[in-house]
Amino acid sequence: MQNVLAYLGENEPRFVRELCDYLRFPSVSAQSHHRSEVEAAARWLVDHCQSIGLDAQLRPTDGNPVVVAQTPRPASASSHRRRHFLLYGHYDVQPAEPLDLWKSPPFEPRIEGRSLFARGACDNKGQHFAHLKAVEAYLKTNTELPCDLTFVVEGEEEVGSKSLAPFLRKNRNELRCDATVISDTGIPDLKHPALTYALRGICAMEVKVHGPSRDLHSGICGGSVDNPALALCQLLARLRDKNGRITIPGFYDDVIPLSAYERKQLARIPFNEAAYRKFLGVPKLFGERGYTPQEQRTARPTIEINGLTSGYQGEGSKTIIPAWASAKLTFRLVPNQKPQRIHKVVAKHLKRLCPPTVRITIEGGHGGEPYLVPPTGPLAQAALRSLKSAFGCEPVLLREGGSIPIISDFKKILGVDALMLGLALPDDNPHSPNEKFSLDAFAKGMRMSALLWQELAST
């Protein structure tokens, strides 16, 4: 094991260079003009896995391909069943816009101190790459891996992972395993490594309000016809009250209330409200009354407007009544809210509120179920030991506010729980301009991964 850890330390500069190569692909799955670069990133990853000794393949799906890479299976292992763990990651990234807010181009990785800046650096290329390098260390030092590992790295996580569930169903036998390991969550800081035991789900939709059949002159017609942008604002305004409570009938029906134990655990996580407010750059925090900010952002459901579009947005002014107005909405969900049901209650409510002077259409986007797993089982305990050893401090238990919609697919299709061992720091700016990944988190993550297989194999 010393050889493995020494190899990781000695080769870190090369690993960072390789990660930079990976980050240069603008593998933005949401934007169809990046399609060829999405595939190029996947091909690069297959080649890289092969170069370190994995049996790697690009597997086609109805959408972007999945990279599957297996550690060599020892021939002698046929007599007793070795443990098998599945490592999940995604090679696709969020759109980089707005580009003018990046200090350096999003797909030209830049290192400043111990931070590596690039779109996808922490979400998620850097994180699954740490696991890959831990495996490389075993293989290149001829150290026996105590369990079998299979990497499953998909290319549609940022657009709803539509092809992954069919892929898992189709390859259920090959992918049968004891648990999945996923590093796509965050840690409070490098002194508080974390096991994440719950995730929020998501329900996305686009709401469009249609007014006149074309943009109208606001002088000639204004006053005698409704303005779809104002109608949209009036609809959306009514979805959340001033206490931060969502006003849609039935929205909270399936929410499991936070237990006293959970609220106590969540309160252990270091949190400085003033620093958090300053980090966000807002004059004052805002959230659902009766909950701490930590609870609000991880254990309570939300409504967000992700984008608004209507009328003229260019230079100067244009005196029109716009023909339509639209909003991209996402709701973050907590156990046991179901995306389909939330979509239904939201759509029903909006249609009921919509005045007769405009028309409303609602299109469903991607959805993902929330997830909750008790953190007291042997696998979770093994993970906590590897965290403690790699980081040199006591890990915390976390709920994560973000979504990894495929976690519940793994549970449903493969029947196993997920160990969520994320490496992203709170200021890593995933989905934002100037996304980064901590090279310290990368180094500790590689050690954690190397130790994890030992701990997991002995459970």
Q: What number of residues does the chain have?
A: 459
**Is the Cβ of residue 386 or residue 434 nearer to a second copy in the bound state?**
434
Task: Name every residue whose Cβ is closer than 8 Å to that of residue 196 and which is 6 or more positions away in sequence.
Answer: 185, 186, 398, 399, 400, 420, 421, 422
**Is the Cβ of residue 16 or residue 301 nearer to a second copy in the bound state?**
301
**Is the Cβ of residue 204 or residue 373 nearer to a second copy in the bound state?**
204
Within 299-328, the residues that bind a second copy by CB under 8 A are: 300-322, 325, 327-328
Which residue among 355, 378, 392, 415 contacts a second copy (CB under 8 A)?
355
DSSP for 227-259, please give it.
-HHHHHHHHHHTTB-TTS-B-STTTTTTPPPPP
Which residue among 124, 161, 296, 438 contacts a second copy (CB under 8 A)?
296
- CA-to-CA distance for 324 and 305, rounded, in angstroms? 17
Task: Name every residue whose Cβ is closer than 8 Å to that of residue 259 and which is 6 or more positions away in sequence.
Answer: none
**Is the Cβ of residue 1 or residue 30 nearer to a second copy in the bound state?**
30
How buried is 261 (Cβ within 10 angstroms: 0-12 exposed, 13-18 middle, 19+ buried)? exposed
CB-CB contact of 175 with 69 (8 Å): no
Q: State the DSSP code for 240.
A: B
- Tell me: does residue 351 bind a second copy (CB under 8 A): no
**Is the Cβ of residue 28 or residue 448 nearer to a second copy in the bound state?**
28
CB-CB contact of 67 with 43 (8 Å): no
Which among 61-69, 75-83, 230-238, 250-258 is the span making contact with a second copy, rule CB under 8 A?
230-238
Which among 145-153, 390-398, 410-418, 422-430 is the span making contact with a second copy, rule CB under 8 A?
422-430
**Is the Cβ of residue 68 or residue 329 nearer to a second copy in the bound state?**
329
- Tell me: does residue 224 bind a second copy (CB under 8 A): yes
Q: How far is CA 16 from the centre of its chain?
A: 22
Residue pointed to by tokens 């499953």 = 152
- Tell me: does residue 105 bind a second copy (CB under 8 A): no
Which residue among 11, 31, 57, 454 contacts a second copy (CB under 8 A)?
31
Which among 4-12, 54-62, 63-71, 349-357 is the span making contact with a second copy, rule CB under 8 A?
349-357
DSSP-based three-state secondary structure for 322 = coil
- Tell me: does residue 426 bind a second copy (CB under 8 A): yes
CB-CB contact of 449 with 131 (8 Å): yes
Residue pointed to by tokens 């796509």 = 184
Which among 7-15, 286-294, 389-397, 446-454 is the span making contact with a second copy, rule CB under 8 A?
286-294
First to last CA, the chain: 18
- Output the smallest distance, CB 342 to a second copy, in A: 15
Contact flags string 185-214 toward a second copy, x per CB under 8 A: -x-------------x-x-x-x----xxxx
- Tell me: does residue 221 bind a second copy (CB under 8 A): yes
- CA-to-CA distance for 224 and 202, rounded, in angstroms? 39
DSSP-based three-state secondary structure for 453 = helix
- Tell me: does residue 30 bind a second copy (CB under 8 A): yes
- Tell me: does residue 11 bind a second copy (CB under 8 A): no
- Output the smallest distance, CB 85 to a second copy, in A: 25
Contact flags string 397-416 toward a second copy, x per CB under 8 A: ---xxxx-------------
- Output the smallest distance, CB 401 to a second copy, in A: 5
Sign of CA dihedral 381, 424, 288, 97: negative
- Tell me: does residue 283 bind a second copy (CB under 8 A): yes
Q: Going edge to edge, which strands form the sheet with 115-117?
A: 110-112, 115-117, 436-438
- Tell me: does residue 99 bind a second copy (CB under 8 A): no
Crossing angle, helix 439-457 and helix 12-23, to 10 degrees? 110
- Output the smallest distance, CB 33 to a second copy, in A: 9
Within 126-145, the residues that bind a second copy by CB under 8 A are: none
- Output the smallest distance, CB 223 to a second copy, in A: 4
Contact flags string 361-390 toward a second copy, x per CB under 8 A: ----xx------------------------
- CA-to-CA distance for 64 and 43, rounded, in angstroms? 11
Closest CA to 64 of 23, 21, 93: 93
Total residues in contact with a second copy, by rule CB under 8 A: 105
Task: Name every residue whose Cβ is closer than 8 Å to that of residue 150 and which is 6 or more positions away in sequence.
Answer: 68, 69, 70, 71, 84, 85, 86, 87, 174, 175, 177
Which among 54-62, 97-105, 140-148, 171-179 is the span making contact with a second copy, rule CB under 8 A?
97-105
- Tell me: does residue 431 bind a second copy (CB under 8 A): yes
**Is the Cβ of residue 3 or residue 286 nearer to a second copy in the bound state?**
286
CB-CB contact of 367 with 203 (8 Å): yes
Closest CA to 366 of 221, 159, 175: 159
